[in-house]
Chain A
Amino acid sequence: MEGAEEAGAEIAVDSKDLQQQSKAFDKLTDRVEDRQLDSSRVQSAMASIAASREADLNAKRLREKELASVKINPADVEFIVNELEIEKNVAERTLREHKGDAVAATRQLLSRYPL
């Protein structure tokens, strides 16, 4: 009888702990209103973040255009995709970077690790 009571108490304590635990976990994903900032100060702060994207985009576009003009053999793309188990676009890009030379492209990929 005494043992049974102790067992009961233990279970009660255990379930209480579990309750607190699950409550804490639940709290993690509670919806909370975000703190608001002063409007006038915010506007001047926004102005100070200027985008300098244009130049980067232009450089990237030029590079892509250059690569796109390289002719590559579809059989070579298929070979690299199959042998090295990489994405098709990666294989294509590497071939273009090596001006369509399948051996050179494959060797460069082999020296890259992991692929």
Chain B
Amino acid sequence: MGASLPPKEANLFKLIVKSYETKQYKKGLKAADAILKKFPDHGETLSMKGLTLNCMDRKTEAYELVRLGVKNDIKSHVCWHVLGLLYRSDREYREAIKCYRNALRIDPDNLEILRDLSLLQAQMRDLSGFVETRQQLLTLKPNHRMNWIGFAVSQHLNANASKAVEILEAYEGTLEDDYPPENELIEHTEMILYKVSLLEESGSFDKALEELHKKEPKIVDKLSYKEQEVSLLSKVGRLEEANKLYRVLLSMNPDNYRYHEGLQKCLGLYSESGQYSSDQIEKLNALYQSLSEQYTRSSAVKRIPLDFLQDENFKEAVAKYIKPLLTKGVPSLFSDLSSLYDHPRKPDILEQLVVEMKHSIGTTGSFPGSDVKEPPSTLLWTLFFLAQHYDRRGQYDVALCKIDEAIAHTPTVIDLYSVKSRIMKHAGDLTAAAALADEARGMDLADRYINSECVKRMLQADQVPLAEKTAVLFTKEGDQLNNLHDMQCMWYDLASGDSYFRQGDLGRALKKFLAVEKHYADISEDQFDFHSYCLRKMTLRSYVDMLKFQDRLHSFPYFHKAAIRAIRCYLKLHDSPKSTAGEDEMSKLAPAQKKKIKKQKKAEARAKKEAESKSEESTASGASKSGKRNVKPVDPDPHGQKLIQVEEPMAEASKYLRLLQKHSPNSLETHLLSFEVNMRKQKFLLAFQAVKQLLKLGAENPDSHRSLVKFFLMTESISAPTTEAEKLRWRVLEAERPSISQLQNKSLMEANKEFLGRHEDSLVHRAAYAEMLYILDPSKKTEAIKIIEDSTNKVVQTNEALGQAREWKLKDCIAVHTLLDTVLLDSQAASRWKSRCAEYFPCSTHFEGKHCSLMPDSVYNSSRKSNENGDTPNHPMGQTELSDGQLEAFKSLSVAT
């Protein structure tokens, strides 16, 4: 290292390296310049100077200098190492690994390079390479603790937990008998617990338990000790001991549901499916009776019985549970009981119970059978609960009645407007939902939660500029919307992307969805620094958990949603390249008007360009004002205009599709999109694979059926294969077709008919049948429409006094409307469908129901001014009073029962 330099300069070179390691970059730069004065072509000094500049955000200069360094001294391992570090800092891991390997070819036992290589191998999950590198490091420097730990972890990650245990035991053999010293108790505790978890993972439960007990005096994390012990006791079948230990854990934290689950398992009373025998119910009831006497303040102990109790016992217990919460005024009560609505009978019992309560409080001021007078707010919270209850059951008209009663009772409670907003959203009036959420926001301008909820409702109503203005009330000054991006605010990206997509602005939509993808890429990169940090800190269990979490990072819902929507954008771009509705309309206009509009568009484009360049200038000037060199790069494509210029949308879509296929293989939507993308790419075998996956996951799903029919219709209509590749493909499909049970000995028309036969009562299945009937034979369009229009919206769960809930969902009816209008191309049928659905969904703006905000008399009509901060100076807390007129308008949203 710098061997060719004279002693003075060699010392300066060491100073550069040390300055780099201790992040004193200016000092390092000074030393480098001093050397280069005398030896301007010295490769290693040029490289180190470049690396130092890279850490000072002068990347372009850095690359120039480092590449020059390698060129001048191609046999120096330092130069190659430095180039690798540079690539690493730009996340070019494969290039970095190449550089490190070149460096190691020159200096095979260089510890620094091996260490850096191992970090990259861990990051890239090159696990066999990681094992080799860690082993080499251990062989070279066996008296470094970190090398033992690193080698053990690498074996664990490479699916060799028992080998990892061996290594840790050998490592323990190097320690003094009185180890650990006081200041390393925590590190040693973590090492022991990691070792025990390795034994557990490899199935050596008895050994793990033995090791845990033997090492107890040295373990300072007593909670982890107990939790690991109870897990092992359960696994070796020592249930009595596990039972006792779970009770100890419950005494430490009686609201931990995992302890409750563990205790139930020990007693043979746990049910994965939620189904319990009467004997189990009896024993569980006795158990929780006993626990409730012991832990009088625990919510979990009171709440868990509601899951297993049934009928009269359930009614009694739930009445006892909710009464104090209604009296106290707990707004989250409905959310707390939400999981009970998956049970067939409990919703009815709840409804009956709460309706009784409401009636009793309304007439006597007390709960049924009680003489104690309730405060006035109890009626309010009972109505609040009932509104959410009916909303959940799809009876939006009744829900609106209840929430309006509650608002009439106490118009200053913010939660009431939030819930009404949600009801309106479910009922199909997104404009009203946004207005109500804004009303709620106006009542507490300091609460970011209701601000965010309002922003989301505005985006759902496609009021993007208003949503942006509202969101920036809580963002950092000066950065505004960029702050949401910087803080990885994914719900905002998704909601605004959805809105742009609905409005046909694919550029902005794609921009937002890809922003979410970038957040996930950043999260993936965030693990890099912890590969060495966690080995040093010995937090090995958390480290391994983090690595496993990172391995399935792209399976999380936000990524899934963003990728699906991005692919849908690319499909649209592929199907109608660079055309917009505006251009379509343009072609219909007279030439003079055409000219006029063109001129106008030019002027608009010019103004837009000027505005953008101004914003860029202001960004740059802002940076210079702050005096920082660390300037954020200006976004070259702020509105996604370049994104929609993509040459091959299907190739871009395939990138995200591969991630979905790997991480969300159980999602029907993944394979639907795979089918759509691959059909367009003419990759028929991949499209076929998607169809097979769809049939495996949900053969009776309407979309699976559509894909099946479309695939075979397409492949059957292709002319006889001519090329070798076509023949081979045909032979593969011929060999596979018998495995498709839906098509055995049947034509597509017959298969479609049988599908209808199996699902005659389902609207979404009838719609799929009709669509496929039309596609298979366009002359049967009338028949297809008839199938749809003859569908019946049956009543479910009749409660005569309180209106009816029907089977059809709003979003399914909207989908059918779209089908009639854009696939079957019958505007009259679409119009009839719209009128019919307006009856079923009177609040729906899509169907223009008589109670929706599009009606002229609606309080939410678009001519109404939005309620903005500061618009009502007489009421600094926002609107806290309702005039008589507004009250009447609110009432008009109700439906007479």
Binding site for B on A (CB under 8 A): 26, 28-32, 34-39, 41-46, 48-49, 75-76, 79, 82-85, 102-103, 106-107, 110, 113-115
Q: Interface segment, B240-248, B320-328, B731-739, B792-800?
A: B731-739
Interface residue from A29, A83, A114 paired with B729 (Cβ < 8 Å): A83
Residues from chain A with Cβ under 8 Å of B728 in the complex? 76, 79, 102-103, 106
Some 30 contacts from A to B, beta carbons below 8 A apart, are A32-B536, A34-B145, A34-B146, A34-B147, A35-B145, A36-B144, A37-B174, A37-B175, A38-B174, A38-B176, A42-B143, A45-B170, A45-B171, A45-B174, A46-B142, A46-B170, A48-B170, A49-B167, A79-B728, A83-B686, A83-B729, A84-B685, A84-B686, A85-B654, A107-B736, A113-B665, A113-B689, A114-B658, A114-B661, A115-B689
For chain B, the count of residues having a C-beta within 8 Å of the partner chain is 45
The CA-CA distance from A84 to B686 in the complex, in Å, is 6
Q: How far is the CB of B646 from chain A (nearest CB, A)?
A: 19
* Residue numbers in B under 8 Å from A29 (CB-CB): 529, 533
Q: Please tell me if the beta carbons of A41 and B173 are within 8 angstroms of each other in the complex.
A: yes
Once A37-B174, A103-B731 are accepted as A-B contacts, the answer to whether A31 and B689 lie under 8 Å apart by CB is no
**Would B143 and A36 count as touching, CB distance under 8 A?**
yes
Cβ–Cβ < 8 Å partners of B731 in chain A = 103
Q: What separation, in Å, do the CA atoms of A115 and B661 have in the docked complex? A: 9
| Contact residues, B539-555 vs A (CB, 8 A) | none
Contacts of B693 in A (CB 8 A): 113
A81–B415 Cα distance when bound, in Å, is 58
Residue in A35, A46, A82, A85 whose CB lies within 8 Å of B144: A35
Bound form: Cα–Cα A73–B683 in Å = 21
Identify which of B147, B536, B728 gathers the most chain A CB atoms within 10 Å of its CB: B728
Q: Mark B681-697, 1 if CB is under 8 A from A, else 0.
A: 00111101100110000
Q: Does B221 make an interface contact (CB < 8 A)? A: no
* Contact between chains at A82 and B725 (CB < 8 Å): yes
Query: A49 to chain B: which residues have CB within 8 Å?
Result: 166-167, 170
Q: Which of B715-731 contact A (CB under 8 A)?
A: 724-725, 728-729, 731
A-contact bits for B135-163, CB 8 A (1 contact / 0 none): 00011001111111000000000000000
Residue of B175, B658, B661, B689 touching A110 (CB-CB under 8 A): B689
How far is B735's CA from A79's CA once the two chains are assembled, in angstroms?
17
A79 to B728, CA, bound (A): 8
Determine if A75 and B724 form an interchain contact, defined as CB atoms under 8 angstroms apart: yes
Is B662 part of the contact surface with A, judged by Cβ < 8 Å? Answer: yes
A41-B735 contact in complex given A35-B144, A110-B688, C-beta closer than 8 Å: no
A107 touches B732 (CB 8 A): yes
B21 CB–A CB distance under 8 Å: yes
B130 to chain A, nearest CB (A): 16
- Binary per-residue interface labels of chain B (640-673) against chain A in the complex, 1 for a CB within 8 Å, 0 otherwise: 0000000000000010001001100100000000
B23 at the interface (CB under 8 A from A): yes
Give complex CA distance A82, B683 in Å.
8
B725 partner residues in chain A, CB cutoff 8 A: 75, 79, 82-83
Contacts of B665 in A (CB 8 A): 113-114
Contacts of A82 in B (CB 8 A): 725
Chain B residues, Cβ within 8 Å of A39: 143
Q: B536: nearest residue on chain A (CB-CB)?
A: A32
Indicate whether A106 sits within 8 Å of B732 (C-beta atoms), given known contacts A113-B665, A114-B661. Answer: yes
Question: Whole-angstrom distance between the alpha carbons of A114 and B166 in the complex?
Answer: 35
B697 to chain A, nearest CB (A): 11
Task: Give per-residue flags for B75-105: 1 if the beta carbon is below 8 A from chain A beta carbons, else 0.
Answer: 0000000000000000000000000000000
Is the Cβ of A34 less than 8 Å from the Cβ of B144?
Answer: yes
* Residue numbers in A under 8 Å from B146 (CB-CB): 34-35
Please determine whether B662 and A114 come into contact, CB atoms closer than 8 angstroms.
yes
Check: B22 CB closer than 8 A to any chain A CB.
yes
- In the assembled complex, which residues on chain A have CB atoms less than 8 Å from the CB atom of B685? 83-84, 106, 110
Q: Is the CB of A107 within 8 A of B145?
A: no
Contacts of A43 in B (CB 8 A): 142
Provide the bound-state CA to CA distance between A20 and B736, in Å: 63
Q: Which of A30, A48, A107 contacts B173 (CB 8 A)?
A: A48
- With a cutoff of 8 Å between Cβ atoms, the chain B residues found around residue A36 in the complex are 143-145
The residues of B that contact A83 with a CB separation of less than 8 Å are: 683-686, 725, 729
- Complex Cα distance, B725 from A79, in Å, reads 6
**A28:B533 contact, CB within 8 angstroms:** yes
B349 CB to nearest A CB, Å: 44
Distance of A13 Cα from B665 Cα, bound (Å): 48
Residue among B530, B533, B732 facing the most chain A CB atoms (10 A cut-off): B732
**In the assembly, what is the distance between CA of A60 and CA of B766, in Å?**
56
Query: Known: A83-B686, A84-B685, A85-B686. Is A41-B175 also a contact (CB below 8 A)?
Result: yes
* B738 CB to nearest A CB, Å: 12
- Please measure, in the bound complex, the distance between the C-alpha atom of A106 and the C-alpha atom of B665, giving whole angstroms: 20
Contact of B732 (CB < 8 Å), options: A32, A37, A42, A103 = A103
Q: Which 8 A-B pairs have the closest CB atoms?
A: A41-B174, A45-B170, A114-B661, A35-B145, A31-B21, A34-B146, A37-B143, A34-B144
Residues of B within 8 A of A76 (CB): 728
Q: For residue A102, which residues in chain B have a CB less than 8 angstroms away from its CB?
A: 728
Give residues 518-569 of B contacting A (CB, 8 Å). 529-530, 533, 536
Nearest residue, chain A, Cβ from B184:
A35
Q: List, in ascending order, chain A residues with CB within 8 A of B688's CB.
A: 110
Residues of A within 8 A of B147 (CB): 34
**Which residues on B sit within 8 Å (CB–CB) of A44?**
173
- Do B174 and A42 have beta carbons less than 8 Å apart? yes
Q: Cβ of A45 and Cβ of B686 under 8 Å apart?
A: no
Please, how many angstroms separate the alpha-carbon atoms of A32 and B658 in the complex? 40
Docked pose: A61 CA to B557 CA in angstroms: 43
Structural contact, B22 and A31, CB atoms closer than 8 A: yes
Contacts of A28 in B (CB 8 A): 529-530, 533
Q: Residue on A with the closest CB to B688?
A: A110
Interchain CB contact under 8 A, A110 and B22: no
Beyond known contacts A48-B173, A79-B725: 19 more, CB 8 A cutoff: A32-B536, A34-B145, A35-B144, A36-B144, A37-B142, A37-B148, A37-B175, A38-B176, A39-B143, A45-B142, A45-B171, A46-B170, A83-B729, A85-B683, A103-B735, A106-B728, A107-B732, A110-B689, A113-B693
How many angstroms between the C-alpha atoms of A102 and B732 in the bound complex? 9
Which residue of chain A lies nearest to B671 when distances are taken between CB atoms in the complex? A113
Task: Give the shortest distance, in Å, between A34 (CB) and chain B (any CB).
Answer: 5
Q: Which residue of B lies closest to A51 (CB)?
A: B135
Provide the residues of chain B in CB contact with A26, threshold 8 Å: 23
Least Cβ–Cβ distance between B638 and chain A, in angstroms: 26
Which residue from chain A places its CB closest to the CB of B18 in the assembled complex? A31
Q: Closest residue to B681 on the A side, CB-wise?
A: A85
Q: How far is the CA of A102 from the CA of B536 in the complex (A)?
A: 51
- CB contacts under 8 Å to A, within B1-42, are 21-23
Alpha-carbon distance A43/B22, docked complex (angstroms): 32
CB-CB < 8 A to B167: which residues of A?
A: 49
Q: How far is the CA of A99 from the CA of B823 in the complex (A)?
A: 47
8 Å CB interface, B178-231 against A:
none
Complex Cα distance A39/B176, Å? 12
Residues in B with CB closer than 8 Å to A42 are: 142-143, 174
Please determine whether A110 and B144 come into contact, CB atoms closer than 8 angstroms.
Answer: no
Q: Which A residues are CB-close (under 8 A) to B22?
A: 31
Given known contacts A38-B174, A83-B683, A102-B728, is B662 in contact with A110 (CB within 8 Å)? no
Chain B residue contacts of A103, Cβ below 8 A = 728, 731-732, 735
Find the residue from A29, A75, A114 having the highest chain B CB count within 10 A. A114
Across the two chains, which residue of chain B brings its CB closest to A105? B732
A46: which B residues are within 8 A, CB to CB? 138-139, 142, 170
A84 proximity list for chain B (CB < 8 A): 683, 685-686
Residues of A within 8 A of B170 (CB): 45-46, 48-49
* Chain B residues with CB under 8 A of A106: 685, 728, 732
Q: State how many angstroms separate the Cβ of A25 from the closest Cβ of chain B.
A: 9
By a CB distance below 8 angstroms, the chain A residues around B21 are 31
Least Cβ distance of B473 to chain A in Å? 16
| Chain A residue at smallest Cβ distance from B21 | A31
Considering the complex, give the chain B residue whose CB is closest to the CB of A52.
B163
How many Å from the CB of A19 to the closest CB on chain B? 14
